[in-house]
Structure 1
């Protein structure tokens, strides 16, 4: 079964940054005219600059779409593109579609990342900021599918783009009730999107075998929002494709797309590492060194990326064991997530001696990673557990914010464009008297194969 390689998917996820930057810097609102009209105002070099990164990998962009990010009414900007596959010298993607979505590249995008309160999305609790942005371009995805029936849809995205690609994949799979189109999802450094029920439905609709989630263990963006948000299941490994960062320590640079490209260059999916097993987690909690993917990397605790990764898995593992004991929540409605987690850890520690030892060791590991001295003689109380979890939450959130800000600055300075820029023609005239919908997609008539009921796109 044909899939896009790690290197190709990383480069496709990266190419959308320059594609969207080119349109945004010219303040060309593609919502008012189709991409063909936009490109007609460019010289040859400018068109090649925009199209080549995608076309050399077998996909020709046929349309771009805007999304709204930020607080309040937000700000609209070109955020992604839809590209059709063709039979290139490298690979034949004819009949297939690529949807590429860019990640955080502005303050407005970062503001969307930080809107972490959960909201209801088709009956599932999901990240409020991601859902709001997805809703702003959802209609464009629907209108494309109303007129097209690709055999396979590849969705790629980095950072915020990975979260939005996840929601887009879920939306497409849900409307394709007849299962006529296969969906492949490739994400890099993506944050968590929803709670357990959302992940379970994504697995049911798409299948974990079609999801390729890649992350550096030093990339804090991939660790937020914290519990009860969880990552969707992934192809070969439930926790995704785990990449060890070169220094072994937490770094904002681990989130940069160019560093993901460097890490996976020339590799196949079968060469990438996974998986952190329950056995690895138990060994970590019992004080031993994991013999799995983190072997030899757990020497330094403070700011250690492998240790922080294991802390995240250990916390989930203990909560899972506590849940099996039948301990339910008895907290008031105004209790925070950290209050609930602290209470569950305390109840588990009181119910089972083994869990008590694990919780004590986990708390000491957390203190070491965030730069505090452990308290070996400290008795376990809900207040103490809540305080340590608060330190961890603040540390991860702060570092993730720094990574997003650094990534945003890098994108603003690292993507040069030709000096000569175009001006969109007044009124965006339509050539030959044809409607923009037909110019953009060429195929007349609605598509019913993927559940479409809407009319043609009138840009």
Structure 2
């Protein structure tokens, strides 16, 4: 733990991975609802990493070789997801560095083997209040409440720490964000590290979190084609959302496919930012600068006005992936979505919430795209027809339904590989329905 009491990329990514071992029988490649024994968790978090069945393809995320090796596994933290199922959800690690005391709270992501309990957490797309921060994702808030309640008996360890580190992947990144915001409001110095996190707060909530936690203390890592980090449309917004944000470390994906589960897997994140023990956040930032956030050439090609519909011809996962990056070349200075580094899907959601006035400012080119999108979604719109919120809503619902279906397939197809897989993305689908229909 070098400069400024910040975890290294390797330490943070190992923590985001090894907290999955709190789930019962994860070490035996057969996770079930329950909590693993403290001895086995210690072995995997701080020890030799030998407990359970060996998995030669998996990264061994033990902290034994890091500067955190002298830490103490103070507690295993349970969490309640979905329909009230309580499982091992993470841990509390206590580390002393010189005169400074550090508390590390790690929270895991969704597991498809648990079925509805875990996945339903992600499907709760409704918003709920989060103190004076504003509205946040209801499902994540529910799990946060359960984790915070289970942390209560160890609250003294957290409150006595000089620095509190909150770390999580996927759903765990969403919960870690709420934990960081909570303890920052309690006056603690907080560092937040997320990998492939979904969006947690609504339009103004993310800004309040910036002010309380400190943008410089939020280390958000995502692959640019990780579907979990993309879906959950406006008004949900990431912390450190803008391309120019120093700690928005949106990295080139390990694959060229939006729906490859590898883009969300923690092993891929370790490979991206922590493949060397001496990896630094500056290295991750340098890699993030290689990410293409514009894709103007592809956008203009898809927006061509020839007789054939480019949208129909390329109606595939690849096309849907391109859709996420289509709009930036015609939105400069007009859309909230561009300013905050959001996507085409967010623009459609923003249209639904704010009316069609903004759409009218975008000109005929944007309506050409919308006509192609409508055709792709199976909606007939004549060339001179006006786009209404109902039509936009149907396009958005179809996009999110397709994305949700593919993500769910990816989750269940990858379950047997026993690496951290994506959370369900039903939340965005439900939001589209609640707004548009």
Q: Following TM superposition, by how much is the alpha carbon of 1:101 offset from its aligned partner in structure 2, in angstroms?
A: 0.7
Is 1:141 paired with 2:151? yes
Q: Following TM superposition, by how much is the alpha carbon of 1:377 offset from its aligned partner in structure 2, in angstroms?
A: 4.2
Q: 2:255 touches 2:262 (CA, 8 Å); kept in 1?
A: no
Q: 1:183 to 1:46 in 2, by over 3 A?
A: closer
Q: 2:17 touches 2:420 (CA, 8 Å); kept in 1?
A: no
- Cα displacement string for residues 34-72 of structure 1 (whole angstroms, at most 9, x for unaligned residues): x8xx5399999997546981344313311111111112x
Is 1:213 paired with 2:215? no
- Cα displacement string for residues 214-272 of structure 1 (whole angstroms, at most 9, x for unaligned residues): 11122111122212111112698438211222332212331111122222223432233
- Pairing of 1:441-452 with structure 2 (within 5 A): none
Is 1:357 paired with 2:372? no
SS at match of 1:310: coil
Q: Which ranges of structure 2 fall in alignment gaps of 5 or more residues? A: 52-59, 303-313, 340-346, 422-437
Distance in 2 separating the partners of 1:405 and 1:316: 39
Q: 1:253 touches 1:259 (CA, 8 Å); kept in 2?
A: yes
Q: Which ranges of structure 1 fall in alignment gaps of 5 or more residues? A: 290-299, 324-336, 415-459
Q: 1:345 to 1:311 in 2, by over 3 A?
A: farther
Aligned residue in 1 for 2:402: 395
Q: 1:84 touches 1:94 (CA, 8 Å); kept in 2?
A: no
Q: Following TM superposition, by how much is the alpha carbon of 1:338 offset from its aligned partner in structure 2, in angstroms?
A: 6.7
SS at match of 1:196: coil
Which deviates the most, 262-271 or 161-170? 262-271
Choose the corresponding residue for 2:165, options 154, 157, 171: 154
Choose the corresponding residue for 2:181, options 150, 166, 170: 170
Aligned residue in 1 for 2:300: 287
Distance in 2 separating the partners of 1:18 and 1:406: 21
SS at match of 2:232: coil
Aligned residue in 1 for 2:107: 101
Q: Following TM superposition, by how much is the alpha carbon of 1:339 offset from its aligned partner in structure 2, in angstroms?
A: 7.5
Is 1:70 paired with 2:76? no
Q: 1:276 to 1:45 in 2, by over 3 A?
A: closer
Q: 1:170 touches 1:205 (CA, 8 Å); kept in 2?
A: yes
Is 1:125 paired with 2:140? no
Q: Following TM superposition, by how much is the alpha carbon of 1:301 offset from its aligned partner in structure 2, in angstroms?
A: 8.6
Distance in 2 separating the partners of 1:127 and 1:23: 27
Distance in 1 separating the partners of 2:357 and 2:381: 20
Q: 1:159 to 1:198 in 2, by over 3 A?
A: same
Q: 1:214 touches 1:241 (CA, 8 Å); kept in 2?
A: yes
SS at match of 1:209: helix
Aligned residue in 1 for 2:20: 17
Q: Following TM superposition, by how much is the alpha carbon of 1:77 offset from its aligned partner in structure 2, in angstroms?
A: 0.7
Q: 2:94 touches 2:104 (CA, 8 Å); kept in 1?
A: yes
Q: Following TM superposition, by how much is the alpha carbon of 1:309 offset from its aligned partner in structure 2, in angstroms?
A: 3.9
Aligned residue in 1 for 2:254: 246
Distance in 2 separating the partners of 1:244 and 1:322: 19
Is 1:303 paired with 2:317? yes
Q: Following TM superposition, by how much is the alpha carbon of 1:208 offset from its aligned partner in structure 2, in angstroms?
A: 1.1
Distance in 1 separating the partners of 2:407 and 2:397: 15
Q: 1:104 touches 1:407 (CA, 8 Å); kept in 2?
A: no
Is 1:348 paired with 2:358? yes
Q: Following TM superposition, by how much is the alpha carbon of 1:394 offset from its aligned partner in structure 2, in angstroms?
A: 1.8
SS at match of 2:23: helix
Q: 1:152 to 1:216 in 2, by over 3 A?
A: same
What is the aligned length? Answer: 370
SS at match of 1:195: coil
Aligned residue in 1 for 2:307: none
Q: Following TM superposition, by how much is the alpha carbon of 1:363 offset from its aligned partner in structure 2, in angstroms?
A: 2.9
Q: 1:245 to 1:158 in 2, by over 3 A?
A: same
Aligned residue in 2 for 1:82: 92
Q: 1:301 to 1:209 in 2, by over 3 A?
A: farther
Distance in 2 separating the partners of 1:65 and 1:80: 5
Q: 1:203 touches 1:232 (CA, 8 Å); kept in 2?
A: yes
Q: Following TM superposition, by how much is the alpha carbon of 1:397 offset from its aligned partner in structure 2, in angstroms?
A: 2.5
Q: 1:155 touches 1:169 (CA, 8 Å); kept in 2?
A: yes
- Cα displacement string for residues 330-350 of structure 1 (whole angstroms, at most 9, x for unaligned residues): xxxxxxx97772474632233
Q: Which aligned runs of 4 or more in structure 1 are off by greater than 6 angstroms?
A: 23-28, 40-47, 312-317, 337-340, 370-376
Aligned residue in 2 for 1:326: none
